[in-house]
Chains A and B, each alone.
Chain A
Amino acid sequence: MLKRLQRRLAIGLFLDIWPAWAGAVLIVSGTIALVCRMFFVSASPILPWLWIAPILAAIPVLVVCMRRAYAPQQVAALADWLAGGQGILLTLLEKDDPAWAASPLTEKASRFQLPRFRFKAALTLLVPATLFLAVALMLPQRVPSHPANTVLAQEIASNLTAALVELKKQELITPAEEQKLEEEIERIQKSAEKRVDNSSWEAADALKEKVAAGLAEKQEAVKWAQDSLARYAAAVQAGGPADPRAKASAAELTAALEKLAQSGMMAGASPELKALLKSGKFPTDLAALQQLAMSISDQLGEANGKFAGLGKLGREFGRFNPSEFPLDGPSGPDGDGVPGRGGVNRGRADADLTWGQETARLDKFKSRPLPPGAPRSPDDWAPVVVLPGSPQEAAVLSAQAAARQYAAGAGQSAWRRSLAPRHQSAVKKYFDKDKKDKDK
């Protein structure tokens, strides 16, 4: 009986302490949940774990209960008190006397009723605390306004940064340009974090266009250099290096290559080519010229390859689509260069048309009858919009009232009309007959 009382006392002690702790933990958890609901979006997925906080609180409570556990003397005193205060249980604990342990007095004292639990009183505190946490967890997550700006700003900047990385990868950008672009991207991102509006997207688009324009310029430079090289080679072959056309072509080639060098496209060129470009004296003999042409062709081919690698970037960059500007190759969106096939590069205007690949003739199509039409049924209707409120009817005037209303405004429409000053006197003269009659 004493052991049962001791167990019950231990449980009672736990129920004395744990509800208060659990209540406090629930209130703290509820407060944490509220704060997270308001300020910390990222904590939202882990908030349901707060429900285990009261269970975790039981661990220190158990430690406290163990430290505050009822001593055997206290248990015996309580048992004695519950048995009517005879003191025999206490006495037997202090003096283990078998003669009295088996006595009717002890037997009677041992038959006491165990105290009962007051669960309702013990757990009442938990109800409001639990409700508080439940309500706090049920509240919708507040999404602050500035994180949205940040997300959008990051999205804007990520597009630009991806483009920058791609340009850097293809070595189509100089370090100075790269630094300038990075600064621009950072400025756009910071501006967008403060406020996202059309100007943010416009700034990003403007930067993209600026990059696209730079790329187009570089592409033009490459093309110009290729063309110049072809013309120079043709001139040298035709008239020799002393030929004025060859000299002019050499000057043009020098200018084209300088521009290419300025745009950073010659960074990977061989040292000999760089030295040649620096001197501006191109070879005149055929073999050297051929070697130079091959060297420059390699360099330009490499540049073309870089531009071709920007295909993915082109989709991101609105207007600039490298595929629209093929540097060489037989086909493209503007045609394949074959006369008569369309496209801006279809060849010279005086070139002979090529037949055989034209569009199929109309009589090759098979006719297909359309399904018969049917008039719409008058019942086949649906309301377009339902206006609130009932329609207002205009007041129906009697014939006399309508006549009076018309007469009151008759002749005034001319006055209300805006007339040029030079016509007003003529109108007055014509319509103000009553005044004239009176004057007469």
Chain B
Amino acid sequence: MIEDTQALLAPDRVAAGQASVARVVNQLRKVIIGKEQVIDEVVTALLARGHVLLEGLPGLGKTELVKALSRLLSLEVRRIQFTPDLLPTDVTGSLILQERDGKRDFVFHAGPIFTNLLLADEINRASPKTQAALLEAMQERRVTTFGVTRPLPAPFFVLATQNPIELEGTYPLPEAQLDRFMFKVDIAGVDQAVLEEILTTRVHGEPPPLEPVLTANDLAELFALVDAVHLPRAVANYIARLVATSHPTSADAPESVKTFVKYGSSPRAAISIGAAARGLALLRGKPNVGFDEVRRVAPAAMAHRLVLDYAARLEGWDGRRVVGALLEGVPEVERGLPRALEAR
């Protein structure tokens, strides 16, 4: 057991970190109008160094969000348009026979994955074989080709998009692949007021020009701050109970989980929730994680990790709704108030 002897972050450091993140968020809000929650979730995942799967209909700003993020963070960004005929080597890179000084040799040509920010557009259109090429990269941040393992540049993020309605010619992501995404962010449509604002502020729909607000060093400092955010033991206990009760075999599982969930969340979900909650806490200018941060990040971190039963589809239950029921059913504190007391 590792003794947590690290001191709390100083208020000024937290305030500086919050200000840095706020600059990014504010700039993103200028680009993506009316998607505050999506922006918060994506930024939170980035602060926690997690990958994000963006799911939404075409034209809702998924790609624009990623592009804006890359510009703001001064990161190298590459984009792969996933298609059914995309090969793994198209992602990871390949050895190319090359003649140099009259001597022929195989030279490794790095694929687009060797970047800081990878936009995997319409990831579910690639074959499972190509999708699997991302597994090692996303989890271990390295790529092995022809027996040689090469590390990816740090930081490395995958922001993948997928279209939920076009099912023909798509390959749904397997559970192992989904589990590697820290968040699955659902991008809903925009309302009339947002559309009106877009029309009035953008002639051809192009976003305003953005300048980088964070350097690589700033980002590294932010990551260090996020890691130093304190996670109280009672909050960690809450996360553990949330994930444990997502399994239908758990005695404390809510009725909806027992009915609609086939397999619960993995331990990686608990790790993701903890890391994302730290990121959100910094975003809010706090030196610690609270129950509220856990409640906020849990749906995005857990919903795509639950394997639902067919009955869930028949009854109209999705992952987010099950997580909502889970949050309702699992009390934040392990030992609640006595029955003779009630909260006001």
Contact = CB atoms under 8 A, between A and B. Distances in A.
B234 A77 contact: yes
Interface string B278-305: 0001000111111111010000000000
A97 B340 contact: no
Contacts of B336: 78
B343 interface: yes
Interface in B1-35: 4, 7-8, 10-11
Interface stretch (A98-106, A198-206, A416-424): A98-106
B271 to A, nearest CB: 18
B333 A74 contact: yes
Contacts of A387: none
B342 interface: yes
Nearest to B237: A77
A12 B343 CA distance: 12
B232 interface: yes
A114 B291 CA distance: 18
A218 B8 CA distance: 115
Nearest to B281: A87
A90 interface: yes
A429 B289 CA distance: 137
A256 to B, nearest CB: 96
A80 B290 contact: yes
Contact of A116 (B233, B288, B295, B344): B344
A70 interface: yes
A113 interface: yes
A12 B337 contact: yes
A408 B343 CA distance: 102
B121 interface: no
A80 B331 CA distance: 13
Contacts of A82: 343
A67 interface: no
- The A interface, classified by DSSP as helix, strand, loop or mixed, is helix
A86 B290 contact: yes
A113 B11 contact: no
A306 interface: no
Interface residues of B, number: 34
A3 interface: no
Contacts, number: 117
A84 B291 CA distance: 8
Contact of B339 (A70, A77, A88, A118): A118
A255 interface: no
Interface string A1-35: 00000001101110110000000000000000000
B314 to A, nearest CB: 35
Contacts of B233: 73, 90, 94
B332 interface: yes
B59 interface: no
Nearest to B340: A15
Nearest to A105: B286
B292 A121 contact: no
Contact of A94 (B232, B285, B290): B232
Contacts of B104: none
A393 B94 CA distance: 136
Given A12-B337, A81-B333, A85-B332, A91 B288 contact: yes
Nearest to B290: A87
Interface centre among B235, B289, B341 (most CB of A within 10 A): B341
B340 A87 contact: no
A99 B232 contact: no
B37 to A, nearest CB: 19
Nearest to A82: B343
A94 B230 contact: yes
Interface centre among A70, A80, A82, A119 (most CB of B within 10 A): A80
A118 B339 CA distance: 8
Interface string B166-196: 0000000000000000000000000000000
Interface string B220-256: 0000000000101111000000000000000000000
A431 interface: no
Interface in B310-344: 332-344
A122 interface: yes
B35 to A, nearest CB: 25
Contacts of A80: 234, 290-291
Interface centre among B10, B232, B336, B339 (most CB of A within 10 A): B232
5 contacts: A8-B341, A12-B339, A13-B338, A90-B232, A91-B288
Given A90-B234, A95-B8, 12 more contacts: A8-B341, A9-B341, A73-B233, A78-B336, A85-B291, A87-B286, A87-B289, A94-B4, A99-B10, A113-B344, A118-B339, A118-B340
Interface of B: 4, 7-8, 10-11, 230, 232-235, 281, 285-293, 295, 332-344
10 closest Cβ contacts across the A-B interface? A87-B290, A85-B291, A12-B338, A15-B340, A91-B288, A90-B232, A12-B341, A115-B341, A77-B234, A85-B292
